[in-house]
Amino acid sequence: MKNRPKVSIITINYNNELEKTIQSVISQKCKDYEFLIIDGASTDGSEKSPYQYKNNIDYFVSEKDTGVYNAMNKGAQKAYGDYLYFLNAGDTFESSDTLGKVVKELDKVDMLYGNIRIVSKKGKKNIVKKKKLDRKNIKLGKKVSQQVVFVRRELFNKLGGLDERYRVAADFDLLCKVFENAKDIRYIDEVICDYDDGGISSNLRKSYNDTGRVIKERYGIGYYVLYMLITRVKLIVARFIGK
């Protein structure tokens, strides 16, 4: 029996820059990982990229799915590592040393998270630093992107994985479940991922509405109303500055 890898890196793809992400993963100096790619029956040719790197990929499938979170759950079901990490097509590790820095910190923690670099469509970059979560601020919708989160696979499965009822906020729902059940959550002040902000959850209104649904179902009407008021102000500000 082969040794269990520390991290299962799961990349989902549908007509995106998959090869860029593959190259970022296989360039990691730390090799204590397995690499799984779940393609949703792409038609732009990106589904052919894994065949060029078949010796570096542990599992690949290209088939229709019912959405982003369905694809992510598929990958988690095939994963074998101690921790799950979702790096979507189009996104990359910050550097070739990133995974090694993370693995050194994965010692008996239930979840580890860090920082993200947002890469806009215009190529402008912004580092979001020290976005720390706790059981209080998460109830008001504070969250980090899934691309900076490493969660223990056993805990992920125990919590039922990603709830596919949510269109863009199942990753936030998972964070809520982890904070309600985990014993050890660790933050590291390292940029983990360069994130392409053109994804589905980058639409502010959709993201806010789906996140609000999670908050209402988990924490009640009071937190929901407060969150929706806060986010409506944010939408007005975003419209004013032309984001």
The CATH code of the domain that includes 14 is: 3.90.550.10
Residue 209 included in any domain: no
What is the structure's pLDDT at 1?
A: 47
Chunked in runs of 10, what are the mean pLDDT values of the chain (243 residues)?
84 94 98 97 93 96 95 97 96 96 94 90 63 93 95 98 96 97 95 77 81 97 96 84 62
Residue 237 included in any domain: no
**For the chain, how many structural domains are there in total?**
1
Residue 88 included in any domain: yes
Residue 217 included in any domain: no
What is the structure's pLDDT at 186?
A: 96
What is the structure's pLDDT at 237?
A: 83
Residue 102 included in any domain: yes
Phi, psi angles (nearest 5°) of residue 144: -125, 160
Residue 206 included in any domain: no
Question: Which residue range forms the structural domain that includes residue 100?
Answer: 7-199
